[in-house]
């Protein structure tokens, strides 16, 4: 296993817009996509995260991982490549968020309550789903990361 490090703010990749993944070669010097995915998911799970964006490990490609047994769609962690929101509800809700790149820091953030999303798998196949609640919040948080936006930029108030 290759050691992946989760970078904390103000690391430069956290504030960069990521470029699309084209699947020509695996990220970060890996020779094998499946080994990369295994190591990446292990990094997220070891850190006890619900999600982990590429920017957080120093890559500026458009992918992130997310998953938790409390989620409806992503009960098991998965990596979503070139993900995007295709539709978002007008209804928003405020909720507490934390971030692996901002240890021990929590903010209230408004997010769309329900979103329709698309992403690609490692094989380049497009999939989609409707996400609600915490799962929708996690997707939006990670998508912000790959768009160079950190959750403190969307914060309503700091929670101690």
Residues annotated as catalytic (active site), given as ranges: 142
Closest to 79 (Cα-Cα) out of 48, 20, 120 = 120
Judge whether 63 and 21 are in contact, CB under 8 Å: yes
- Other beta carbons within 10 angstroms of residue 35's beta carbon come to 13
Judge whether 77 and 64 are in contact, CB under 8 Å: no
DSSP E strands in the chain: the ranges are 51-53, 63-66, 78-88, 92-99, 102-112, 114-120, 126-132, 155-159
Q: Tokens at residue 120, please?
A: 């690609």
Whole-angstrom distance, CA of residue 156 vs CA of residue 49: 22
Closest to 117 (Cα-Cα) out of 149, 52, 73 = 73
Judge whether 65 and 79 are in contact, CB under 8 Å: yes
């Amino acid at each position: 296993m290759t050691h992946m490090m989760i970078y904390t703010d103000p690391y430069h990749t956290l504030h960069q817009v990521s470029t699309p993944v084209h699947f020509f070669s695996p990220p970060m010097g890996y020779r094998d996509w499946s080994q990369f995915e295994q190591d990446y998911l292990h990094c997220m799970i070891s850190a006890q995260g619900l999600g982990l964006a590429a920017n957080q490990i120093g890559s500026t490609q458009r992918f992130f991982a997310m998953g938790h047994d409390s989620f409806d769609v992503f009960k098991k962690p998965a990596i979503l490549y070139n993900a995007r929101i295709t539709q978002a509800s007008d209804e928003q809700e405020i909720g507490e968020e934390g971030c692996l790149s901002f240890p021990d820091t929590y903010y209230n953030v408004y997010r769309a309550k329900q979103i329709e999303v698309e992403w690609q798998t490692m094989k380049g196949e497009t999939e989609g789903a409707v996400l609600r609640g915490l799962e929708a919040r996690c997707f939006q948080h990670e998508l912000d990361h790959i768009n160079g936006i950190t959750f403190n930029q969307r914060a309503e108030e700091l929670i101690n």
